[in-house]
Amino acid sequence: MKSLVTSIIALLFCSVVWGGYLEEDQDVLIPKDWTHSGAVSPTEELELTFALKQQNVDLLEETLRLVSDPDSAQYGKHLSLEEVSFLVRPSALSQKVVHHWLQSHGITNCLTVRTGDFLQCSMTAEVAEKLLPGSKFQRYVRDGQSVVRSSAPYSVHDDVRQHLDFVGGLHRLPPKGQDLTKASSNLHHKHSKASLHLGVTPSILRTRYNLTTADVGSAQNNSQAVAQFLEQYYHSTDLSEFMGLFGRTFPHLTQVDRVVGTQGVGKAGLEASLDVEYIMSTGANIPTWVFTNPGRHETQEPFLEWMVLLSNISDLPWVHTVSYGDDEDSLSTAYMMRINIEFMKAGVRGISLLFASGDSGAGCRHLTKGQNSFRPSFPASSPYVTTVGGTSFKNPFKMSFEVTDYISGGGFSNVFPMPEYQAGAVQSYLQAGAADLPPQSYFNTSGRAYPDIAALSDNYWVVTNMLPIPWVSGTSASTPVVGGVLSLINDQRLLKGLPVLGFLNPRLYKLNGQALFDVTEGCHLSCIDEQVQGRGFCAAPSWDPVTGWGTPNYPALLAALLEK
């Protein structure tokens, strides 16, 4: 009884005196793989990120629609960072209220960004806990990495609540790196091809996707990027060795153009090596940037820090590929909505953001005893990014046609409604395959459906720590491959004086599958239960929520995307 009364009083106190929660639905449970290593001392310095409410978000969304729709007169009329800033910058009132609130707590050490909509401030843990009632900062460790997060939800004063979207650095933890070696996975029982298969290399990809030796970058001012968030580093010696082994058949660069962030010392990461080696093999000869582990302070969220950086750099590469994702249900709606606005801000600037669709098929969420549903992943489920799924060769020994890679992430968002650009394609899939669909209780047909496109994701060769490693698999592999292909198309567009592709989806869906190899065979994973027995969605002619529209046939895709 006592605890009930206490919590009622606490609730009243929260809403009347404190204000309220900005992220009521944020999962604050610390995953089991992190170990609690004690409370943070009151004098310890924390770095928190304040996401200020932006203005003109509807106008931003409409502008993105116009500049990305090939049938609009505004197509390709991208905005500069200054113009984006002019549009979304928080109102003078919001800025004043938030600054006043921080100052009244003695917080003056803040950095802002060009768009004025993020503030990064340092303060002691004691001050942070007063500023954000409810928060309790603790230290957690995993595999030698240490982070500081709050073990309880935070609230903010009522006066500032309407001027903030969320405060970063309290809850979201870096996700666990994905297991990229499928050979070790017991889920892989389809065929025992491992010992005989030679594996996917740049020349296999270039042949399959019809890239000739001449299909490499040459435009001035074209560039592409990969982003890493898991304390993973690439080694430039691995990249040179990789190109020495696998790059002999096409002109390429052997060095990264620019590293943004801090490359730690120590072993190279498989994921980081994979991303860099493959974006530079399809997007060959195109200057490449690596964003590495932004937000190294213990309270910072690396993915959020990367988003903050994008709002502070005016000249960015045109294509970014990212292999990062969290379950939608572990994140607050406020956070996802705001990050989605950040994606719009990048899109109107002509920047293409590509995300891996994930490696758990449709995913599985246990709701109640015996009741499951699929589990969409964010940012893959954002309507304003291009999401990349995965395929395997039908005949593993030959460069045959592609079928579903059963790990390929895909499904329907429970947060973002279905965008207009895909409504027709998704309806066709749902109607044509009605008899064969998983039960309706497992997914949400009104949500944004993904992926949009795909590429091979199975049995790659990667050089890491000076060793060539086979059997590397996952949509982390297909994403930089598609990124490189888009960069090549941007290259040809820039040579013709055309604007870059920018946010691709509206144009991609209008192609109606033209110029892509349609993937029509195979299903991906989902819940191992009686109802669906491990089967999620299945590939089908045209668009499907396993492989999107399919994989790129470069010369045809170039021709289709080289006008306007």
Ligand X SMILES: *[C@@H]1O[C@H](CO)[C@@H](O)[C@H](O)[C@H]1NC(C)=O
- Residues forming the site for ligand X (CB under 6 A): 111, 113, 120, 210, 221, 223, 308, 312, 315-317, 414, 417, 444, 446-447, 553, 555-556
Rounded CA-CA distance 386/134 in Å is 37
Amino acid at 467: L
Q: Active site residue: 155, 330, 476, 487, which one? A: 476
Amino acid at 276: V
Instruction: Please choose, from the candidates 173, 154, 176, the residue with its C-alpha nearest in 3D space to the C-alpha of residue 50.
Output: 154
CA dihedral 411, 416, 418, 420 (to 10 degrees): -140
Rounded CA-CA distance 278/207 in Å is 14
For CA atoms 296, 297, 298, 300, give the dihedral sign: negative
Given the complex with ligand X, which of 30 and 494 has the nearer CB atom?
A: 494
The residue with tokens 């329907």 is 412
Q: 311 and 342 in contact (C-beta within 8 Å)?
A: yes
Rounded CA-CA distance 449/441 in Å is 16
Q: 225 and 316 in contact (C-beta within 8 Å)?
A: yes
Catalytic residue check, 405: no
Which region holds residue 135: left if phi is over 0, alpha if psi is between -120 and 50, else beta? beta
Given the complex with ligand X, which of 171 and 448 has the nearer CB atom?
A: 448
Please give the C-alpha separations between residue 101 and each of 19, 45, 119, 196, in angstroms, as whole numbers: 13, 19, 13, 64
Please give the C-alpha separations between residue 285 and each of 160, 248, 260, 322, in angstroms, as whole numbers: 49, 13, 20, 20
Closest CB 445 distance from ligand X, rounded Å: 8
Closest CB 167 distance from ligand X, rounded Å: 15
Closest CB 512 distance from ligand X, rounded Å: 17
Q: What is the CA radius of gyration of the chain?
A: 23
Rounded CA-CA distance 120/514 in Å is 45
Count of beta carbons in the 10 Å neighbourhood of residue 124: 18
Given the complex with ligand X, which of 241 and 305 has the nearer CB atom?
A: 305
Q: Active site residue: 23, 129, 275, 491, which one? A: 275
Q: Active site residue: 23, 117, 165, 271, which one? A: 271
Rounded CA-CA distance 73/439 in Å is 42
Closest CB 5 distance from ligand X, rounded Å: 33
Please give the C-alpha separations between residue 505 and each of 27, 335, 352, 382, 422, in angstroms, as whole numbers: 30, 23, 10, 11, 8
3-state secondary structure of 145: strand
Given the complex with ligand X, which of 221 and 533 has the nearer CB atom?
A: 221
Closest CB 48 distance from ligand X, rounded Å: 12
Tokens of 277: 């080696």
Given the complex with ligand X, which of 168 and 474 has the nearer CB atom?
A: 168
Catalytic residue check, 275: yes
Closest CB 262 distance from ligand X, rounded Å: 13
Length of the chain: 564
The residue with tokens 């605890």 is 3
Catalytic residue check, 223: no
Given the complex with ligand X, which of 241 and 298 has the nearer CB atom?
A: 298
Given the complex with ligand X, which of 58 and 315 has the nearer CB atom?
A: 315
Tokens of 14: 């929260």
Task: Name the helix (H) or strand (E) containing 460.
Answer: strand 460-464
Residues catalogued as catalytic: 271, 275, 476
